[in-house]
Amino acid sequence: MTRHVTCIGAGVIGGGWAAHFLSRGFDVVAWDPAPDAGARLRRTVDAAWPALTELGLDEGADRSRLRVAASLGEACADAVFVQESAPEDLDLKRGLLAEIVVATTDDAVIASSTSGFPMGEMATEAPDPSRLVVGHPFNPPYLIPLVEVVGGPSTDPAVTRRAAGFYRATGKTVIEMDREVPGFVANRLQEALWREALHMVANGDATVEQIDAAITEGPGLRWPVHGPCLTFHLAGGEGGMAHMLDHFGPSLRSPWTRLEAPELTGSLRDAMVAGTASGHDYAALVAERDRAVIAIRRAVEQARRP
């Protein structure tokens, strides 16, 4: 029997993962308790396929290599890698991950798409939690490269490495975390922005449409090329992050968001400067950002007028 990738859950994320693995030439077996799961999955895969074709399919990639299994046990039996994308419900995930551990062979890696539960909290019912790891994607998993990989206290470090290697081999960009932080890295960042947005709508400070425009017409245009740290490094001019922190340090005590900032200690300042300044030429970074922002603006303009 051929080994395959198993996708548990047929929602937006589970379906997106199925499309990703199919595009990379794998057999994919899916399972979801919903009666219409098969139809939903195929709709998601069909909607993703033009984008995946445009990006370039791997050899053997074929939508017909998706099979919907009748049971979780059948879906998992021959899996080399299981991606669990069930609803974000801790009790549900605890039970499901335990079932998957039992249903898989000892060499199968089991990754959870959870948006923020640490594996230490999800693995409590599994008879053997060593093969359980978080592999958190971003919607849609077939287009956004990032996967955050982190194990729990009982995860075998070799399993975490295998998961990261497997994702990379399928073209993903992996951030491996060495400790469990609720929400991981990227989700904590976007969740802070999202909660501030909810506060603003709840408080009548801004409308939903203004919030979206504020990002798409503003800082959102810089973030695909330079992350928030390198962006602020450039905001400091030729003095870079050091000048930016010295200049805007006092603003960290202003009520510019509902989130209070940490104290800007000397060691935090040094860490920010070291992480951005080293090895970058200011003028070259400015030119790179400018080329990217122009190209991004044009890309979006064209995508909005099909």
Residues 143-202 that bind a copy of itself (CB under 8 A): 143-146, 148, 173, 175, 177, 179, 181-183, 185-202
Q: Which is nearer to a copy of itself, 96 or 103 (CB)?
A: 96
Q: Which is nearer to a copy of itself, 105 or 210 (CB)?
A: 210
Calpha distance 24→110 (Å, rounded): 19
- Let me know: does 112 contact 97? Beta carbons within 8 Å: yes
Calpha distance 142→20 (Å, rounded): 4
Count residues near a copy of itself (CB under 8 A): 122
Q: Which is nearer to a copy of itself, 158 or 259 (CB)?
A: 259
271 is a contact residue toward a copy of itself (CB under 8 A): yes
Residue count (the chain): 306
Calpha distance 44→74 (Å, rounded): 22
Side by side, which strands form the sheet with 66-68?
66-68, 28-31, 4-8, 79-84, 109-112, 132-137, 146-151, 173-176
280 is a contact residue toward a copy of itself (CB under 8 A): no
- Which residues are registered as beta bridge partners of 29? 6, 67
- Let me know: does 140 contact 48? Beta carbons within 8 Å: yes
- Let me know: does 97 contact 25? Beta carbons within 8 Å: no
User: Out of 7, 48, 68, 119, which residue is the one contacting a copy of itself (CB under 8 A)?
Assistant: 48
User: Out of 127, 265, 266, 279, which residue is the one contacting a copy of itself (CB under 8 A)?
Assistant: 265
Number of helices and strands in the chain (H, E): 12, 8
253 is a contact residue toward a copy of itself (CB under 8 A): no
Minimum CB separation from a copy of itself for residue 17, in Å? 14
Calpha distance 133→118 (Å, rounded): 9
Site string for a copy of itself, 62-101 (x = CB under 8 A): -------------------------xx-------------
288 is a contact residue toward a copy of itself (CB under 8 A): yes
61 is a contact residue toward a copy of itself (CB under 8 A): no
242 is a contact residue toward a copy of itself (CB under 8 A): no
User: Out of 71, 105, 158, 258, which residue is the one contacting a copy of itself (CB under 8 A)?
Assistant: 258
Minimum CB separation from a copy of itself for residue 286, in Å? 6
* Beta-strand pair 132-137/146-151: antiparallel
232 is a contact residue toward a copy of itself (CB under 8 A): yes
109 in helix, strand or coil? strand
Minimum CB separation from a copy of itself for residue 278, in Å? 10
Q: Which is nearer to a copy of itself, 35 or 262 (CB)?
A: 262
